[in-house]
Structure 1
């Protein structure tokens, strides 16, 4: 299966709240030298973050946008036959929304993807209702999806959330990860190592986000963090379909 770097560059527009495009960033298994997963990321023209677009939406408009982007991510990954897992960030309107979460299985079926190949992550930038978070993850697991706790160490992705329910994947926030190889960052290395050991002991896989230097990548291997994501391993790439759509 071709790596993303070997695929043609592409764009697939989303016509809601301004033109958005789905980009895909690899999560690499640095021990095996292979792609573990691709994370789907919404990008504005020029490749900038879509955060500002979401801040200007609310209610049904926000809900439609979030569901549309989930569909675009699944459809694009299927069209381009991306290898490994597909990581998708779910929007705030989906947390605790049983009907919307059940519809994700229909989306996957329409796209031709097995739920077992999809890792669903909930946003970390909003307060998390722990019971709703647990219920959502249990529902998704029952449907065959894998789940992830995003950005552990930042925002509201706290240990209390992890204690309530253990997902398949725990992603360490880039603010914990970056500079971990610096000889002066002894405390940072210990925090990263303890967080990784705890997640691994609970049965979750661990991804380090924001890996940008070879030194940090090497340092992360010592506590057993071999799944890594960041500019060192590949930038988000927008895919172009053969017909240019």
Structure 2
């Protein structure tokens, strides 16, 4: 049964109870290797004391999924603002927790105004592992977010539904390559060919490409040779609990 809509929004917006558990964030940088700058920080959920993500995500149920998704957005913006974060901020969202994009985004806009964080520096990224069976619906959500002024990103591109069908319906600002394509790419001709093709296609469509999950210098060098300049992974920096990463702390390529 869908929530009843009101003039202020849907019933879930109006009647949502507070979550019964607390959480916080670690931030992992997404780097621009050409300009040696931090392009963005991805907000990664953690327990209130820095506990691993599963300790939080295991408490998310169908009953509290909406409240959790809304709380995540506000908390990420609050912490990023408190840290004085100057880079973009990438926030994962749960497409299956959204009923009306134009209504469910309101609390995010309130949080951005309250904490003085510009909405044009917020990236909404489809959450890793969230199965979305209705690609048209996901495209509609992303389209509305982009219309409002947020940046949009498709995560795990090349895995599951996050592929060409979705890209045909909606062209986001950013595509994040699936980690399986990145792993060992320096030793895999098929992976290199696929990534080169995706990079060329995204260039034609005006979409930026991020390679995530980089763990070795050889992977980084190979991706750089393929024209990828935005990267993320342990090679550069692990997620930092309630901290951003300064450019001078990044393991830049020689």
- Which band: TM-score by shorter chain? 0.7 to 0.9
Once the 2 structures are TM-superposed, how far is the Cα of residue 229 of structure 1 from its aligned partner? 0.2
Unaligned runs of 5+ residues in structure 2 are 1-17, 244-254
In structure 1, which of residues 108, 112, 116 is the aligned counterpart of residue 112 of structure 2?
Answer: 108
Once the 2 structures are TM-superposed, how far is the Cα of residue 131 of structure 1 from its aligned partner? 2.2
Flag the 1:103–1:160 CA change in 2: closer, same or farther, 3 A: same
The answer as to 2:140 corresponding to 1:138 is: no
In structure 1, which of residues 25, 29, 36 is the aligned counterpart of residue 28 of structure 2?
Answer: 25
Once the 2 structures are TM-superposed, how far is the Cα of residue 47 of structure 1 from its aligned partner? 4.1
Question: What is the match of residue 248 of structure 2?
Answer: none
Question: What is the match of residue 158 of structure 1?
Answer: 163
Unaligned runs of 5+ residues in structure 1 are 1-14, 241-245
Q: TM-score, normalised by structure 2?
A: 0.81
Flag the 1:63–1:217 CA change in 2: closer, same or farther, 3 A: same
Flag the 1:38–1:69 CA change in 2: closer, same or farther, 3 A: same
Question: What is the match of residue 218 of structure 2?
Answer: 215
Determine helix, strand or coil for the equivalent of 1:59.
coil
In structure 2, which of residues 70, 75, 94 is the aligned counterpart of residue 72 of structure 1?
Answer: 75
1:181-220 residue CA offsets vs partner (Å, 9 max, x unmatched):
12xx111111111112111211110000101111111110
CA contact (8 A) 1:124 1:157 kept: no
Q: Higher relative CO (CA 8 A, sep ≥ 6), structure 1 or 2?
A: 1
Could you tell me how far apart the structure 1 residues matched to 2:240 and 2:127 are?
A: 21
Q: Superposition pairs for residues 174-193 of structure 1, below 5 Å? A: 174-182=179-187, 185-193=188-196
Once the 2 structures are TM-superposed, how far is the Cα of residue 103 of structure 1 from its aligned partner? 3.2
Could you tell me how far apart the structure 2 residues matched to 1:186 and 1:144 are?
A: 38
Could you tell me how far apart the structure 2 residues matched to 1:202 and 1:17 are?
A: 43
Once the 2 structures are TM-superposed, how far is the Cα of residue 56 of structure 1 from its aligned partner? 4.1
Question: What is the match of residue 88 of structure 2?
Answer: 85
The answer as to 2:240 corresponding to 1:237 is: yes
Q: Superposition pairs for residues 7-18 of structure 1, below 5 Å? A: 16=19, 18=21
Determine helix, strand or coil for the equivalent of 1:232.
coil
The root-mean-square deviation of aligned C-alpha atoms, in Å, is 1.9
Question: What is the match of residue 250 of structure 2?
Answer: none
Could you tell me how far apart the structure 1 residues matched to 2:51 and 2:179 are?
A: 19
